[in-house]
Amino acid sequence: MDDDDRADDDGAHPAGAEEAVAELARTTAQPYELIGRLAGGETGAHEVTGPAGERLVVKWEAEPASQRARRGGVAMAERLRVDAGWPVPRQRIITSENWLFVLQEFMPGATVEVIGHAMVDRLLELHDRRLGLARPGDEWRWPEVLVSTLTVGGRGYCQHEPLRGHDHRTAAVAARIEEVGRSIGPDDLPGGDIVHWDLHPGNILQEQGALSAIIDTDFATVGDAALDLVLLAVTSLGVACDSGVRSRLFAVAFDELAPVRRRAYVSHVLLRLLDWSIRRERTGEIEFWLARADELLDP
């Protein structure tokens, strides 16, 4: 798959895309041309060409709380890029009367379809580099946000209602997740690292088998980087892996993880995966994660 295959192939843009890119051009007094929406994700990433014909990715946000989160994500992603040497896109924020735009460089590569040991080696090296990169004065909302997703749900993701309404099995999983959330206190969830927050194979790009980029850093934050390892291990169940890779990822994620953190992070990840699948009516994915729910949630 080449770079162009990362864009939706139907050529359609969601309502507002043309208007948003036109406002970006007016605000900057520079020509930007909408190419298409990039496949996957819920954050509305669109490819555009910039003033010099360069390929760029643009996202935009109108809601104030989401704008605040995106500003924080850009700052943390830049720390990952500069201080930890992560291959994440350079980003800049542009504000207009109506929107906050995040303009990113277009990163090379195709999404990972098979996880090999060399890829795991590289990911673990990058993981170690971002440990302890929190600074005095960084906003600290990690325990609050994580526990909130478990007890009442997140803003636009990790929603409980789809699980409650889908069938009795998903409703039972939601009840278990809420019980986990109620059992956890803020002091149970440490921090001090930079967390990608959505580190799964779909956000890892490769060229010729080597990691070329990590994308979708929109909501990177200060917290516990162990969550990223849990998410990566669990989502590896849904992609092809070389022999021994999956067990290796699970060992790295869970062997030294305190039980309370394991319960919190696994519950968050399972909620995220089921909510996403239910709202998109992906029956196969729903059944896949339901079949693994008890094993994942039980210590």
Looking at the structure, do residues 122 and 260 belong to the same domain, yes or no? yes
Q: What is the pLDDT of residue 42?
A: 56
pTM listed for this prediction: 0.92
Q: Provide the domain count of the chain.
A: 2
Domain boundary among 67, 89, 105: 105
Q: What is the pLDDT of residue 2?
A: 33
Domain boundary among 88, 105, 122: 105
Q: Range of 221's domain?
A: 110-297
Looking at the structure, do residues 127 and 239 belong to the same domain, yes or no? yes
Q: What is the pLDDT of residue 6?
A: 35
The CATH number assigned to the domain holding 173 equals 3.90.1200.10
Looking at the structure, do residues 230 and 148 belong to the same domain, yes or no? yes
The Cα 58–Cα 45 span in angstroms is 6
The Cα 180–Cα 135 span in angstroms is 30
Domain boundary among 105, 132, 164: 105
Looking at the structure, do residues 96 and 114 belong to the same domain, yes or no? no
Looking at the structure, do residues 212 and 130 belong to the same domain, yes or no? yes
Q: What is the pLDDT of residue 39?
A: 76
- CB atoms under 10 Å from CB of 45, counted, come to 20
The Cα 184–Cα 250 span in angstroms is 23
Q: What is the pLDDT of residue 44?
A: 75
With a cut of 70, list the residues of the chain below it in pLDDT.
1-15, 40-43
